[in-house]
Structure 1
Amino acid sequence: MKRSNLISKIMLALFFLVLAFISTYPAFIGHFFKLTMDGQIHLIRFESVADAIKNKELPPIVNFMGYGNVGEVFNGMYPWLSGLIFIIPRVLLNSPMHALFIGFYLLNILTILNTYLLVRKLSNNHYIRLIGVILYQLNAYHLTLMYSRNALGEALAYAFLPLTMLGCYLIWNNKKLGILYLALGMGMIINSHMISSILAFLLIIIAEIYRIFTRKLSLKEIGYFISAGIITIPIMIFTVANIANITLKNRIATTWRGLNSIDMWESLKAMLQNDIADKSIIFNIGIICFVLLCILLVISIVSKANGSWKKYILGAGIIYILTLNIIPLPASLPQTPVGIIQFTGRLLSIVMILLTVSCILFLKENSNRVNTKSSFIFLFMIMSLLTVGSVRTYHNTVNDDPIRHYINNDNYVGEISRPTEGDMDYALIGKNKQAIIGKMSHRYNVSKVSYDSIILRVDKKANQIPFFLYKGIPYEVRVNDKNAKIKVGSILKLKVKRGDIIQINSKATWWNYVTFIVSTIAILIISISIVFCKGLE
């Protein structure tokens, strides 16, 4: 390796490290972290997984810790495999805040690296590449995902979206390596967040329909996509097997449905104020990205010259308009399958990946007209300042919502354990589609809880306990140290009296271990193959 190449790679690595630090540290100023409802839901499940790994086990599908201690199944229904970048630091470190900081730092490094893998295939110009990385990393919506919404599943999916786009781009350019990138990207999005995986899949479908109408689709391309789909199966099998096991055997509640749109004027006001608050009506991509989107849209419409970037910016523009409340939607639409999106702001992830690609291709085609070095320096400085400002302002704003937790090393476990948010998200439901716990008052005190068990002390005589027992999950229930017969598919039904001690245990099944091993090995093999299979490019 030439000395100049080595120096440039070292400088690139240092830039990535600095960029990740800029993206992470402002959220931890003052040695605390501002946690929302979603953040609490994610961190308590990560905590249970970390505790299991510390004991050299996989966690059971059922959650004993958190969520009101009603036996929810977030471990099974909400993917956590990609969340290992948060979980492993927690396993290794006694300080939960240092572990959380490292988790976010690794998440930002991962997002930056995956974005760079994409942009380096789009342009050979170093400054253009870095512009793409900055746009995708430092935009306001990405910061919203991580720090104001604490939507860690979506943030992880956001990190892998560039790999999916890269896979498609390579396949469209007849490169076999695209199969591996697409498989890894889609597989890890599925291992992060199911709604994001649906949106990514729909994006691919729409792109392929476009290619059919433009007569660019070939049988070879179809074969490449099918191959990627097949390779995705072992990557996602752990996540999908868990979800299938629960949904096929139980009647469960789904998360709320809706289609809350972004208010165009409120969003614009938020951009001008550099606001990243977790309000769905103001979700935005930031003033810099918004201006860039508008400029490129105008150029694409006015310019008569053909450019490969145009279809990407038009796609970004159309999707962005769909997120706004300027288009009236049918009142019944939120209750259809479309309602699983919940709020249209989720589409901003797609907007940003398309905007990033279009910007790179535009600069590539117009590099003789644009000073890319100056553009890079300007964007890096202004977007870094906006990032620090927006995150710090949100971080320091106290009690802006009833559900807020300000966590530090002293109160970490208590703050993420006590809240009951999420306790009915995947609840067992009856024929009336209502949670079978209903309005039951809790008739017990939690004496002890861990990742695989809970001990309850009964307050008064009862015939049933508000604790879910799902089909397909192994349980062991003991009352006063004696085994009790149970019926799954309902809440725990036992005749108990005041003072009785109930112990409920569950373990991961053999097929949990098998599918986990298959998924992790598949991820490692495909990642290594991407590094060494240069001949497929």
Structure 2
Amino acid sequence: MGVTIYLFNAYHFELLYARTAIGELLAYTFLPLVLLGCLKIWNNSKANGWWWIALGMASIANSHLLSLLMVTILLGGAEVYRWYQRKVDKAELLGFLKAGAVSLIAASYSLGNIIYLSLNNQLTLPFKNLITIDLTQVNQSILTNKFVEMAGSWNLGLPVSILFGYLMIQWLRQAQNVKIKEWTAWLKAAVISVVVTLNWWPLEKLATTPLGTIQFLGRLLCLTALFLMVAVVVYCNQQPFKKRIYWMIMILTGALALSSLFEFNQSMTPVPAGDGHQIVTPSTYLSTIEAGSYLPEYHPKTLQGKDALISNDKVKISAIKTIGNQGEYLVVSSKPKRVVDLPFAKYKGISYQFQLNGKVVHSQSNTHLKVKLSKKTNRLIVSSKAPQFDYWLILISIVAYVMMVVGLWQSRDSKNRLNGDIVI
């Protein structure tokens, strides 16, 4: 049941098919590993809980920085809450510290490069915003069993929303029952994570603050799905149903979710260029930049503070071939002997080599490729070389991952399993 809810919810499909946000999708995939480690530690199964947290956090760090920030804040808040309840002991604190240290080592390649480029360049940071969820749009999406890319309508989908509502009803019906506290705690967390995303609050005033880094409050639905998954699992453990009922619910949930996916696929239409959705290919690369149909995130800035990835309408560029860290392009200019700005970002701290018509040339700009073309039709080869420390960082990251897998294998124990009482 838990896996069905986590996989077959509309927000998951939104990431996978509507937005194709691969980084967020990978972070969504690894999030349960962090939760598993926390539950093991919180339930006194300290043998390998911290290994799971380290593996999950490292994988999230290597996938999506914003998800890493969200999960880190969530874990910090959970530990503060447990400390307030006097539930934190030295073993638990040590476990989280070890998990943090190992995860940082395993993510050193990704984090190290981000820090290195940030220190050596003035980068264009992601835009800030706080786009909330509109219940009117959500209700329409849920009732029609459809999902779209519009951030204001993100939701968990019809089948999962029905299960959510069922648990809410059971919570109200059994409010006086002490036993339900074990699953209602997770349900309350799910409810809170939904309520804070709604447009009931004047959050747009905070869009320019660091909180605006989240951009879409609907991203918190990944936490909603996680909390709801645990709530359903604990509820089913306490009030077991017949297996055929479980199967009926899972099959119905999967069928409705796949039906919405089929509808989404059937309703897809070509997206017009210039609205931020044009597919970038070697043939559309230049036109995409000229139309401004991209988000210049983490591109180097010019001395004037503008995005360095600019185009030049005097030239046409087409890719011949790209292999690894090298690309070969055909650059056609209306006139020869002209200095042009080409849309190739150039980061300080990275070694580049540019060959124009077989001769090595140097860029006249520190932030992008600016060269003098020798004739109308030119063959350009662009290559880069990673810093030496990159090889050490990738080696360290690989060794750390191997260490985590070995640690999990060695600490496996049939007795080291969670019981039905999953509490914070």
Consecutive unaligned residues in structure 2, runs of 5 or more: 417-424
Other structure's SS at 1:323 match: coil
Deviation of residue 415 (structure 1)? 7.8
Deviation (angstroms), 1:237: 1.1
Matches within 5 A, 1:97-496: 131-174=1-44, 175-300=46-171, 303-306=175-178, 307-331=181-205, 333-367=206-240, 371-399=241-269, 401-402=271-272, 419-420=288-289, 421-422=293-294, 424-430=296-302, 432-437=304-309, 440-441=312-313, 443-446=315-318, 448-451=320-323, 452-459=326-333, 460=335, 461-466=337-342, 467-486=344-363, 489-496=366-373
**CA separation of 1:463/1:405 partners in 2, compared to 1, >3 Å: closer, same or farther?**
closer
CA distance in 1, matches of 2:103, 2:272: 41
What SS does the aligned partner of 1:402 have? Answer: coil
Q: Alignment identity in percent?
A: 28
For residue 495 of structure 1, give the secondary structure of its aligned residue in structure 2: strand
Distance 1:344 1:498 in 2: 51
Compared CA separation, residues 437 and 235, structure 1 to 2 (3 A): closer
1:223-276 CA distance string (max 9 Å, x none): 110000011122111111221121111001012221111111210110111111
Please tell me whether Structure 1 or Structure 2 has the larger radius of gyration of its CA atoms.
Answer: 2
d(CA) in 1 for partners of 2:47 and 2:366? 47
**Separation in structure 2 between the aligned mates of residue 462 and residue 412 of structure 1, nearest angstrom:** 27
Which residue type is aligned with residue 397 of structure 1?
A: S
Aligned to 1:110: none
Residue 422 of structure 2 is matched in structure 1 by none
1:320–1:347 contact (8 Å) kept in structure 2: yes
Report the 3-state secondary structure (helix = DSSP H, G, I; strand = E; otherwise coil) of the residue aligned with 2:382. strand
Q: Mark the CA change 1:167 to 1:220 in structure 2 (over 3 Å): closer, same or farther.
A: same
In structure 2, how many angstroms separate the alpha carbons of the residues matched to 1:269 and 1:513?
51
1:400–1:376 CA distance, 2 compared to 1 (3 A): farther
C-alpha distance in 1, partners of 2:201/2:92? 35
- Greater RCO structure (CA 8 Å; 6+ sep): 1
Distance in 2 between the 1:310 and 1:528 partners?
36
Q: What amino acid is aligned across from residue 212 of structure 2 in structure 1? A: G
1: CA distance, partners of 2:246 / 2:84: 37
Distance 2:47 2:373 in 1: 63
Change in CA separation of 1:177 and 1:271 when aligned onto 2, cut-off 3 Å = same
Q: Is the 8 A contact 2:145 2:260 kept in 1?
A: yes
| Residue type at the aligned position of 1:476 | Q
Inter-partner Cα distance in structure 1 for 2:379 and 2:315: 12
Q: Deviations over 1:203-227 (max 9, x none)?
A: 1112112112222122221111000
Which protein is richer in helix relative to its size? 1
Query: TM-score, with normalisation over the residues of structure 2?
Result: 0.86
Structure 1: distance between partners of 2:103 and 2:117: 21
* 1:526 pairs with one of 390, 394, 404: 404
Match of 2:419 in 1: none
Tell me the TM-score normalized by structure 1: 0.69
Asked if 2 retains the 8 angstrom alpha-carbon contact of 1:264 and 1:326, the reply is: no
Q: Offset of 1:288 from its aligned partner?
A: 2.4
Moved more, 345-354 or 450-459: 450-459
Q: C-alpha displacement at 1:445, in angstroms?
A: 2.4
> Residue 417 of structure 1: CA displacement?
9.9
CA contact (8 A) 1:167 1:178 kept: yes
Distance in 2 (alpha carbons) for counterparts of 1:416 and 1:235: 34
* 1:324 Cα deviation after fit: 1.3
* Matched position secondary structure for 1:309: helix
* Superposition deviation, residue 349 in structure 1: 0.4
| Mapped partners of 1:135, 1:199: distance in 2 | 21
CA contact (8 A) 1:262 1:345 kept: yes
Q: Please give the alpha-carbon distance, in whole angstroms, between the structure 1 residues aligned to 2:355 and 2:129.
A: 41
RMSD: 2.7
CA distance 1:138–1:529, shift in 2 (3 Å): same
Distance in 2 between the 1:249 and 1:144 partners?
A: 36
CA contact (8 A) 1:168 1:182 kept: yes
Shift of residue 135 of structure 1? 0.9
Report the alpha carbon displacement of residue 418 of structure 1 after superposing the two structures with TM: 7.7
Aligned length: 400
2 CA distance for matches of 1:377 and 1:385?
A: 12
